[in-house]
Amino acid sequence: MPLSFYIHIPYCVKRCGYCDFNTYTPGELKAGSDIAQVSNGYIDLLIQESKIARSEVSTSKPISTIFFGGGTPTLMEPADLGRVLKSLEADFGFAQDIEITIEANPDTVTKAKLNQLLDTGINRISFGMQSASSHVLKTLDRTHNPENVIKATTWAREVGFNQVSVDLIYGTPGESIADWDQTIDAALALPITHISAYALIVENGTKLAAEVKRGEIIIPDEDQTADKYLLADEKFTKAGFNWYELSNWAKAGGECRHNIAYWQGSNWWGLGPGAHSHIDGKRFWNVKHPTAYRERLISSTSPIMDSELLSDSEKESERVMLEIRLPEGISKSSVTSAALLRLESYLTGGQLSAQDWELGRISLTLSGRLMADRIVREILL
């Protein structure tokens, strides 16, 4: 099975109010405002862990996809990111058509830096846009200027990135349908090949969750959030972006192959603190804090904190939950006859494709996408 790598960069200049990702600001790491200080030596640790991966993964196939996530990977120097890539290429080899993605905050790049990233071998970039509305960005506690998204995506295409994506968030408290419509139009005006759009989830422990708990902001109702999804799908489709996963749309050839590897249950190794891996049905994850990660590797100890072997039932549950999110859906022959009976009401209700059902597939229609979790529960009962 082809192997992918996720490379975690756990640093941000400022934590967004909705974020519960495993990321840290210099202040949280008690290092003032100096990103260079807190990240000093981090690249060497990633390379050291990649050597562990080489010793433990028995594959002769070259790496097919790599994804730099965070945090804010573009806070790191391109040359340092390139050192990780060179080490991985030397140890594993790269597929001829390897996809190497980096997430980016539009405030952290210049045209020159984008050119340097491209020179390292990174060939796909995903910008965190979230919204085109200033008041929505303020609620999310995002720091970037919406105008910088236009500059950054334009620069990316000018220096030679053929695959450029933006991430959007809908359902933010205070976001109207008109606000979301404006964001969609702004995204579609960009020189991009891919769009991800996610409904906001208020995670416990975040600044946003505290504001909701105090009643300072109100979460919009589910019907409005559903309307926003439908509006996005309609406009994305008309603009030539086809949905290929519940929250992702792409122009032809613009799909993110790294994420598809996740959804298809492929093998991947996650480098960095808190990173998760999946190799041949075994899942394992690293210690979460950067300091603990550093201490383990400096002492020549594995950074892996824990692991689990997935049972057959767990593998089946994950297969259903992931594959149902894709347009091709899942095979009818792979689920029980009782599950098929339970799904008949969704077939007659129009949430499942009648055409695909006749062809032996269980696939979601547009209205079915809004009920994906419920349909999964029916299959797995």
- Do 250 and 352 belong to one domain? no
Burial of 160 (0-12, 13-18, 19+ CB in 10 A): exposed
- Do 36 and 150 belong to one domain? yes
Q: Is residue 91 part of a domain?
A: yes
> Could you tell me the mean pLDDT of each successive run of 10 residues in the chain, 381 residues long?
93 86 84 72 96 91 96 94 97 97 95 98 97 93 87 98 98 94 98 97 86 86 95 98 98 97 94 96 95 96 96 93 96 96 97 98 98 96 90
Domain boundary among 244, 263, 282: 263
- Do 78 and 224 belong to one domain? yes
Could you tell me the residue range of the domain that residue 371 belongs to? 328-380
Q: Is residue 271 part of a domain?
A: no
- Do 226 and 83 belong to one domain? yes
- Do 223 and 338 belong to one domain? no
Q: What distance in Å separates the CA atoms of residue 13 and residue 295, rounded to the nearest whole number?
A: 23
- Do 145 and 49 belong to one domain? yes
Q: Is residue 93 part of a domain?
A: yes
Q: Is residue 343 part of a domain?
A: yes
Per-residue confidence (pLDDT) for residue 36, from 0 to 100 = 76
Residue of 326, 333, 321, 338 lying closest to 373 (CA atoms): 321
Residue of 165, 90, 81, 93 lying closest to 122 (CA atoms): 81
Q: Is residue 289 part of a domain?
A: no
Domain boundary among 263, 295, 315: 263
Q: Is residue 313 part of a domain?
A: no
Residue of 264, 202, 367, 355 lying closest to 4 (CA atoms): 264
- Do 249 and 353 belong to one domain? no
Per-residue confidence (pLDDT) for residue 205, from 0 to 100 = 87
In angstroms, what CA-CA distances link 371 with 253, 333, 351?
Answer: 28, 22, 8
- Do 198 and 335 belong to one domain? no
- Do 236 and 369 belong to one domain? no
- Do 244 and 347 belong to one domain? no
Q: How many structural domains comprise the chain?
A: 2
- Do 71 and 165 belong to one domain? yes
- Do 350 and 202 belong to one domain? no
Domain boundary among 229, 263, 297: 263
Q: Is residue 286 part of a domain?
A: no
Asked if 20 contacts 28 with a C-beta cutoff of 8 angstroms, the reply is no
Chain position carrying tokens 């959804």: 263
Q: Is residue 202 part of a domain?
A: yes
Per-residue confidence (pLDDT) for residue 307, from 0 to 100 = 97
CATH of the domain at 43: 3.20.20.70
Predicted TM-score of the model (pTM): 0.94
Is the Cα dihedral 44, 45, 46, 47 positive or negative?
Answer: positive
